[in-house]
Homo-oligomer: A and B are copies of this chain.
């Protein structure tokens, strides 16, 4: 009997004891972000599935895990024999876990969930569905803590000051700006539940998560003070003193809900439904006016300041140097050194870690050889690890956290001689990447309007890719950090692409069972000209690494695209070569030579 089967039996017992007919577990922590600590990986513990997106639903007769297309193959394998069925989330179909629950329970039955890790936005959706069928919901129901006896503790070392030389703006200034915006919105309190908002606002970084330099924390801002809820022991003395001077009061992490409940009822609070747990939302005193919006720091930090933009330029050079050395090393050692996806991943980490102010990877690198490249979110394990041979396509999607910025870049290279179709595919993807990078558009344009620029060349050949074209990127914070995005389905109709926003540009093509091709650069939006027809914006491609010319069919590029590539390559060489050895430099000269 597998471990999961036993745990499932335990959970079902507990459900019976607590009169719960269906128990639902999202893959979330109390901050409801993408990255969570091992302490909160309840679904991994329960089912054995290691992917980052999942919802588990258990009834007495049914147990399943919902995940999206990125993880179908992996989940199929990991859930086998676990007692949990795989439920595939397919955007065009009614395949949501909440809808399933409501459809499969009877009137009067009860759903249980832990309101600490369930957003109020999602709870409302569940309530809306359940209401008509008169299904009950118990939102203070933690059945896992008791069963999970060897649960890992939340660790993480101390937080630290993020110096002004990197982040470009004093915390006191940011706080004033947020308060000015609160005043404009006529808001007394602002609840911050996303740790990245707090890191940005206070110019600190932490070590609580693997890929994002966050100190897990909550905050409440009013017009005179900021209550910061975090592990006190992680705030260094010097920082604590400075906080004190700025009216930032440190309180225990666990006291956030209690503190919210003591706020003045005759006042107003701004919070974000998708990032606020049901527990915290329900702590808001009755009668208090709640403004539900994306947080002010989320909007502000999406637009990088001048100092951040300068820092990003430095981070991009360091990241480009590391990548150049990595690809140089592969090409010069392919015949002599055995290489695999995992060993290459270590090698790449090694080159990045040589760079100044490097903190760690910004996500689990995707080093995907041949057919593995067709899985957009493939992550090699010792079981899947492929040995690199003398031919085939290698996809490398990776990024680093530096004090001077967060990087995320994908390059696809040919090992040996590529086929004609590989070259055509690569060139169509490259056309998409270039055409988005070259876009000029009026202020007010949304990412969903621009998305087609990265797809048009593919669509014309009956090709496409199943994910968005671009996600926002944080500054020494989350590698996926909105609200901006470039995607067919704009996540928020109100968000325009603004000057200062950093976004990825990553069209792709996936040939199942054969190979995957993705070309990803980060692009930074800036103001171009202002005419009688309005203000126009453009992008600057800030990622710096050569694009494999052996994969380009130049006959498919038009003059503007070739000019762009030549100019990009010459910039890559100019900016990276001062940091390279003589051999690396010569090699890069050739890789970036004009067509």
Contact = CB atoms under 8 A, between A and B. Distances in A.
Contact of A529 (B444, B456, B462): B462
Nearest to A537: B459
Interface stretch (A79-87, A201-209, A447-455): A447-455
A562 to B, nearest CB: 14
Contact of A531 (B462, B512, B534, B536): B462
Contacts of A534: 464
A141 B92 CA distance: 45
Contacts of A532: 512
A463 B450 CA distance: 17
Given A450-B452, A451-B449, A462-B533, A92 B493 contact: no
A531 B453 CA distance: 20
Contacts of A451: 449
Given A464-B533, A536-B459, A449 B452 contact: yes
Nearest to A449: B452
Interface of A is mostly: mixed
A253 interface: no
Q: Which range holds the interface residue count of chain A?
A: 20 to 34
Interface string A434-455: 0000011110111011111100
A531 B462 CA distance: 6
Interface in A94-151: none
A512 B532 CA distance: 10
A440 B462 CA distance: 8
A114 to B, nearest CB: 31
Contacts of A464: 442, 533-534
9 contacts: A439-B459, A441-B459, A445-B488, A446-B448, A448-B449, A449-B452, A449-B488, A452-B453, A464-B533
3 closest pairs, A vs B, by CB? Answer: A462-B531, A464-B533, A449-B452
Interface of A: 92, 439-442, 444-446, 448-453, 456, 459-460, 462-464, 488, 493, 512, 528-529, 531-534, 536, 558
